[in-house]
Amino acid sequence: MATTLFQRDLGRTQGRIEPAGFAPVEGTYVFALGSDAPGVFGRFLPGDFAEVAQTIDLTGMSFVRFAAALRGPSAAPARGTWRFAVLLDGVEQYGEALPIGALRTRFDRVIDVSGRSGSAELSFRLELTDSGTEPIESELPAAYLDRVLGDVSPARPVLADRVPEPGDLAAPRGGPITFDLIGVGHDGIDPSSVRVLVNGAIAMATGIAQPGFDGPGAGFTVNGDTLSVTLVPTADFLSRAAVAVHVEAATRSGQQGSFDYSFTIEDYARPHLAGAQALAAKKVQVSFDDDVRQQSDGDPTDALTPGNYAIAAVSAPTIPVEVVSVEAVSSSSVLLHLDAELSAGAVYQVSATGLTSLSGHEVAPDSATFTGFSPVVPAGRRFDLYRLLPQMNRDEDTGDLRKLTAALQDVTDLLLADVDRFPDILDPDLAPQPFLGRMLDDLGNPFPLGASLKLIASKPSLAERDVRITRPLQSLAARNT
């Protein structure tokens, strides 16, 4: 038998394998039709297919249940369509086109065989269909067959073939909600008994689609003992919204069924800058309403790229500042480090542009206002430069003097804040590391240690502190000569 693209890599990317492109529902193995490895291209004729088949006994069986995953080609072929189909004795029972550039799971599929008995050949097929006869260039897709079960349960009605599927985390925002209600046997489903609630709202009553879910194509169809329901929302669901579906139905013979399942809408909303807050004189925390990309790789869409942020003054006078570095705080917030101190109490506006969320959506070009960090002022202090001027000068002021002193007040407040922090430099427990080295030098540094000491506690022994020596250590003898 000649080797073809459908079977030239059996056991590795085709046939029974442990797949790399799909996580099996049960166990670790699947049966792969096509190729588990993307990027395999070739020439195919319309009607070319790969298939796995087995003879089964349908006696006493109600359904054949299967779980599968379909990965279409990265780009649609110039002609033709790749399809996945399930056949019984060569007759198609279920089929659908493969998605382009995506992986689609089908974990809730059933084939109704309650009206059959005896042996039949069950086959699963991946096929390229086209009305023409000329060869077609295409990437080889994949159909993963994960689980096949014979269901002999007599319970009815049965809910199956749900789209979106239960647990789907990326359901289309405005896509239809479809499912099948199957009455095992020959009495079928009573359409007037069908009642559907979506997030508590009535979407179908007595088999009639209700406002809000009665878009084009909404309703039901009957095929034998299967009733297929389609609900079409007239408005999109919110991004990442949880959708709960409740279904009630009965067979024509009066057997009742009640079902519940849920899924989640795709993340499609553009993230926004949620707010900003000055945490220190040169630090501003910025938060977003979604997780943002933080790879620190210089990518222009990365939230850790300083060039994506700009800070402008809203009030005056204010010291102009720029972002020099960005530090991750959480998956949805970052800390901006500035090149200069913010004017205390002044109003600033920070804007973020060019960022993307983890789901790949561009962050909306937003801005947020915040107030410059104001250090703690000792109780009773009054150091208002304008108020210190003679009353005569203030009485004659046309506004220019107040503006001038306001600019000087800004610098004065920063100097006062530095003066207030001076006692911290004198305390070994609070002083920044460079000052600890100077303290040791002033004491003659009696510790014959290397260039640094390790700080591991809030009040450790001196031998445990991380001390960055600012100049070479000198012995007492050398210092006294």
Domain boundary among 269, 299, 316: 269
Domain boundary among 269, 295, 324: 269
Are both 80 and 176 inside the same structural domain?
no
Is the residue at 455 inside a domain? yes
Q: How far is Cα of residue 358 from the mean position of the Cα atoms in its chain?
A: 5
Is the residue at 467 inside a domain? yes
Residue partners of 116: CB distance under 8 A and separation at least 6: 58, 61, 88
Give the domain range for residue 415. 385-420
Are both 473 and 352 inside the same structural domain?
no
User: CATH number for the domain including 94?
Assistant: 2.60.120
Model pLDDT, residue 448: 61
Are both 47 and 126 inside the same structural domain?
yes
CA distance 422 to 444: 23
Are both 405 and 319 inside the same structural domain?
no
Are both 257 and 312 inside the same structural domain?
no
Q: Answer yes or no: are the C-beta atoms of 369 and 314 closer than 8 Å.
A: yes
Are both 120 and 15 inside the same structural domain?
yes
Model pLDDT, residue 277: 94
Which token pair is 459? 């009040």
Model pLDDT, residue 104: 86
Burial 238-247 (b: 16+ CB within 10 A, else e): ebbeebebbb
Query: What phi and psi, each to the nearest 5 degrees, are found at residue 410?
Result: -60, -50
Are both 354 and 365 inside the same structural domain?
yes
Q: What is the DSSP letter of 149?
A: E
Is the residue at 378 inside a domain? no
Summarised one tens digit per residue, pLDDT across range 11-57 is 999 999 999 988 888 889 999 999 999 999 999 999 999 999 999 99
DSSP state letters, 417-458: HHHHTHHHHH-TTTS-HHHHHHHHHHTT------S-----SS
Percent of the chain having pLDDT more than 70?
A: 91
Are both 222 and 286 inside the same structural domain?
no
Are both 400 and 344 inside the same structural domain?
no
Give 268: exposed, middle or buried? Use CB within 10 Å, 0-12, 13-18, 19+.
Answer: middle
Is the residue at 219 inside a domain? yes
Model pLDDT, residue 1: 54
CA distance 177 to 396: 76
CA distance 308 to 354: 6
Q: How many domains would you assign to the chain?
A: 5
Is the residue at 247 inside a domain? yes
Name beta bridge partners: 366.
Answer: 352
Is the residue at 377 inside a domain? no
Model pLDDT, residue 477: 34
Which token pair is 122? 């069950």
Are both 170 and 63 inside the same structural domain?
no
Model pLDDT, residue 470: 36
Are both 348 and 406 inside the same structural domain?
no
Which token pair is 186? 């020959």
Is the residue at 75 inside a domain? yes
Question: Which spans in 185-283 are helix H?
Answer: none
Are both 2 and 124 inside the same structural domain?
yes
Domain boundary among 269, 295, 314: 269
Q: Which residues of the chain, if any, have pLDDT below 70? A: 1-2, 154-155, 185-186, 447-481
Q: How many residues does the chain have?
A: 481
Is the residue at 301 inside a domain? yes
User: CATH number for the domain including 335?
Assistant: 2.60.40.1220
Model pLDDT, residue 181: 92
Summarised one tens digit per residue, pLDDT across range 333-369 is 999 999 998 988 889 999 998 899 888 888 888 899 9
Among 77, 139, 74, 67, which residue's Cα sits nearest to residue 107? 67
Model pLDDT, residue 430: 80
Model pLDDT, residue 459: 41
